[in-house]
Amino acid sequence: MANRRLLRRRPATTGPAVEDGTGDAAPASAPPSPASADREPLGELLVRRGLLSTAQVDEALLQQSTSGKRLGTLLVELGMVDERALIEALAVQLHVPVADLRQSEPDPEAAARLPEALARSLGVVAVRHTEGTLLVAAGDPADPRLLDELSRAVAPDRVRLAIAAPSDVRRSIERTYRALAGVGSLVEAFEATESGRDAGPGARVVSEDAPVVHLVNLMLTQGMRDRASDIHIEPHADRVRVRYRIDGALHDVLSLPENMGPAVVSRIKIMANMNIVDRRRPQDGQIATEIDGRQVDVRVATTPTIWGEKAVLRLLDSNRTLLRLAELGMPATTHERFSSLLRSPYGMVVCGGPTGSGKTTTLYATLGELNQSERNITTIEDPVEYVVPSVNQIQINEQAGVSFATGLRSILRQDPDVILVGEVRDAETARIAVESALTGHFVLSSIHAGDACSALHRFADMGIEPFLLTSTVAGVVSQRLVRRICDQCREPYRPGVDELAFFEKAGGAADTAFWQGRGCTFCSRTGYQERIGVFELLVMGDTVKRLLVEKAPIDSLRRAAREQRMESLLDGGVRLVEEGTTTIAEIMSSVYVV
């Protein structure tokens, strides 16, 4: 039933019998081949359909002559035409049907007929197989090499082409060709081997051809393809559960036999140069590897549980583009005030929030604003997650005696202008950071705290005198990450009674139109895609400084900050709901202050 929605046929045109891509002569009413030379120029077609003006087409053609790009690609890049509208127009021009890859998934039996390597190289995905004909969706069905290469690959089946948005095809390929599809055979091979039953965990992973070696590689590959930030490998009484954290939420992806747990963890330890013999103490390690042509750093942490060792792998794509400060999702007023803090020649700006709230991303984006040739910027991090050009980055190494405190002391002898302290964990690091700001350096740091005012109290709890805080801290930004509603399946909905009561109590507008994600193939049926930050910025005004010196309770600090036009985390969450960016349920679960 789902496949019936996959194809939306374009209106047929009358004419002589033509080849329809299946190899048989089609009746006079069938659409001609994509290779037909008798096509209406794309520009004229878009004008006729009311999508562009003649002047816009002329401008695009002029730019095409200098860029060499295809007209359709250029129009989408310039924002003149939506990708979906362009695909509809190209379907008319090429006389091919449109494959809807957003709401329906390709038939697994059809996809299996097309090798993964060929599908990725050609940018195609097989969506349906009926009566010896394989329907293949392509982002560019006019490519002359497609029919020949596809026909050779799937013979004796015949090939018929459909068109889909290139971005849809790429995502469909990632969903269709799951790296974990062959896990069942690997589990069977593991259990069938004598070493898998009897030998110790170290012996099971010596050979690079061992099933557990391939299994770990597949888990890493699929984790990167699914945009997972973490992979959890958790032993239980009767199984080993594998979960991916995607957009902040954990999803079950595998259930392995319980006897595979020690071998999987041992393989990961070998890759991370950890001690595979000691299974009673927590250990940390790091893996540098390449996945799908991308350099990836994997942070590994293991800990013993009652059922065996648990491992958590943090995936860090070394080639990921760092966000700029303006791309984090800060409201215009918050962004303007935060940027003004960065123009100070000295002082301290603190980024607060719980684990996984995006503090590191904000600090790196801030570094991007400060990274100029006349500044000496030095960071001390645990670990160095992203390499920033022309910035001196120091990695924490406790075994070598390099901690945040000792590393920060050494930085002060390196004539720095800007110092980034990855995390303030203890009183010694906090004191050195504050004294660094007091002696003419600009210091950026992160700290675990519930909100901006709590971050100031954390420093006080570490023994930092209030008068030092008021003299050095210029501002505190606190943040959370919430999931965005998927743009492909968003629809209006009516929240429940509890959600509405929360929204109204938080100050939400009564006439708000509420949206949610229905769930589609793009968002793995979750209704959410990617995340956006929710921020609050506390600027150290006179009232806040006075209350700090007086050691006033945190509620008094919050009231004073609100009087200084600070938008709280809850205010920011409500604003995102009113804008249709996220849901009330997501705000209730992600934006909280104790």
What integer pLDDT is reported at residue 429 of this predicted model?
92
Scan for tokens 């009413």, then name that residue.
29
Q: Which residues 6+ apart lie within 8 Å of 439 measured at CB?
A: 412
Phi, psi of 6, deg, nearest 5: -70, -30
What integer pLDDT is reported at residue 172 of this predicted model?
85
Q: Give residue-wise pLDDT tens across range 174-208.
A: 888 887 877 888 888 888 874 545 445 554 555 67
Scan for tokens 């003006």, then name that residue.
53
What integer pLDDT is reported at residue 483 of this predicted model?
94
Residue 18 scores a pLDDT above 60:
no
What integer pLDDT is reported at residue 35 of this predicted model?
46
Residue 23 scores a pLDDT above 80:
no
What integer pLDDT is reported at residue 38 of this predicted model?
63
Q: Which residue has the higher pLDDT, 462 or 522?
A: 462
Question: How much is the average pLDDT of 332-338?
Answer: 93
CB 377 within 8 A of CB 416: yes
What integer pLDDT is reported at residue 27 of this predicted model?
32
Scanning 242-343, the segments in alpha helix (DSSP H) are 261-271, 332-341
- Structure tokens given for 122: 């050609």
C-alpha–C-alpha distance, residues 393 and 414, integer Å: 12
Scan for tokens 């009674």, then name that residue.
497
Q: Give residue-wise pLDDT tens across range 82-99.
A: 788 888 888 888 888 988
Mean pLDDT of the chain: 85
Mark residue 525 as left, alpha or beta (left: phi above 0; alpha: psi -120 to 50; beta: remaining).
left
What integer pLDDT is reported at residue 34 of this predicted model?
44
Residue 492 scores a pLDDT above 60:
yes
Question: How much is the average pLDDT of 578-594?
Answer: 88
- Structure tokens given for 471: 């003299």
Residue 33 scores a pLDDT above 70:
no
What integer pLDDT is reported at residue 75 of this predicted model?
82
Lowest mean pLDDT among 20-29, 140-149, 270-279, 445-454: 20-29
Distances (CA, A) of 326 to 77, 317, 365, 484, 591: 20, 21, 9, 18, 21
- Structure tokens given for 148: 């020949």
Question: How much is the average pLDDT of 204-217?
Answer: 78
Q: Give residue-wise pLDDT tens across range 415-438.
A: 999 999 989 989 999 999 999 999
Q: Give residue-wise pLDDT tens across range 272-331.
A: 999 999 999 999 998 999 988 888 989 999 999 999 999 999 998 876 777 888 888 899
Residue 15 scores a pLDDT above 60:
no
Cβ neighbours of 5 (radius 10 Å) = 10
CB 292 within 8 A of CB 360: no
What integer pLDDT is reported at residue 593 of this predicted model?
62
Lowest mean pLDDT among 119-123, 203-207, 310-314, 392-396: 203-207
Q: Which residues 6+ apart lie within 8 Å of 524 measured at CB?
A: 175, 226, 246, 251
Q: Which residues 6+ apart lie within 8 Å of 343 measured at CB?
A: none
What integer pLDDT is reported at residue 206 of this predicted model?
54
Question: How much is the average pLDDT of 488-503?
Answer: 92
What integer pLDDT is reported at residue 3 of this predicted model?
46
Q: Is the peptide bond before 257 cis (omega within 30 degrees of 0)?
A: no
Q: Give residue-wise pLDDT tens across range 227-277.
A: 899 999 999 999 999 999 998 889 999 999 999 999 999 999 999 999 999
Residue 209 scores a pLDDT above 60:
yes
